């Protein structure tokens, strides 16, 4: 018997090209600007860490690249403090730019608080991503 899990889905349209958004999702110096300090490499199987230091939390998120389809899809494990989820970014070109779908799956019933935190966190991260895209070439 498998345990029921929840998936968080957030979608946002950006008035930028899929190529530009892809760079922000896959280049470590850009990821640092909108998400966290990292040692990301766009290679399936690459283990990397996201590091966060805020007044609320100081920690490390262990990740592993699961899937890459350039300018279309990026997926990786997101493991921290007993929470083992998968984050998937899906890019879909639109008439005005690109639609980004962020999915974080695998929240168990006992992770309701984490689910709410992730909901807030991803909204915040996507706001920072929008600011980054507006100021970069």
Tokens at 102, concatenated? 């962020």
Say how many CA atoms lie within 13 Å of 103 toward its Cβ.
16
Pick from 116, 89, 114: nearest CA to 34: 89
**Rounded distance between C-alpha atoms, residue 9 and residue 28, angstroms:** 24
The string over 98-121, giving b where at least 16 C-beta atoms fall within 10 Å of a residue's C-beta and e elsewhere, is bbbebbbebbbeebeebbeebeeb
pTM assigned to the model: 0.94
User: Tens of pLDDT along 4-37?
Assistant: 899 999 999 999 999 999 999 999 999 999 999 9
- Domains in the chain: boundaries: 5-135
**Rounded distance between C-alpha atoms, residue 96 and residue 80, angstroms:** 36
- Say if residue 1's pLDDT is above 60: no
Tokens 């929008």 belong to which residue? 130
Q: Spell out the CATH class of 5-135.
A: alpha beta
User: Tens of pLDDT along 42-88?
Assistant: 999 999 999 987 776 678 999 999 999 999 999 999 998 888 999 99
């Amino acid at each position: 018997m498998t345990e029921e899990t929840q998936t968080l889905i957030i979608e946002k349209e950006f008035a930028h090209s899929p190529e530009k958004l892809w760079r922000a999702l896959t280049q470590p110096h850009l990821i640092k600007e909108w998400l966290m300090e990292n040692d990301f490499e766009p290679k399936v199987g690459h283990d990397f860490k996201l590091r966060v230091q805020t007044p609320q939390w100081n920690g490390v998120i262990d990740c592993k690249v699961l899937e890459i389809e350039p300018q279309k899809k990026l997926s990786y494990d997101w493991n921290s403090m007993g929470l083992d989820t998968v984050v998937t970014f899906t890019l879909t070109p639109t008439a005005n730019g690109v639609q980004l779908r962020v999915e974080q799956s695998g929240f168990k019933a006992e992770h309701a608080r984490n689910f709410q935190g992730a909901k807030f966190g991803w909204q915040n991260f996507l706001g920072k991503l929008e600011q980054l895209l507006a100021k970069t070439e």
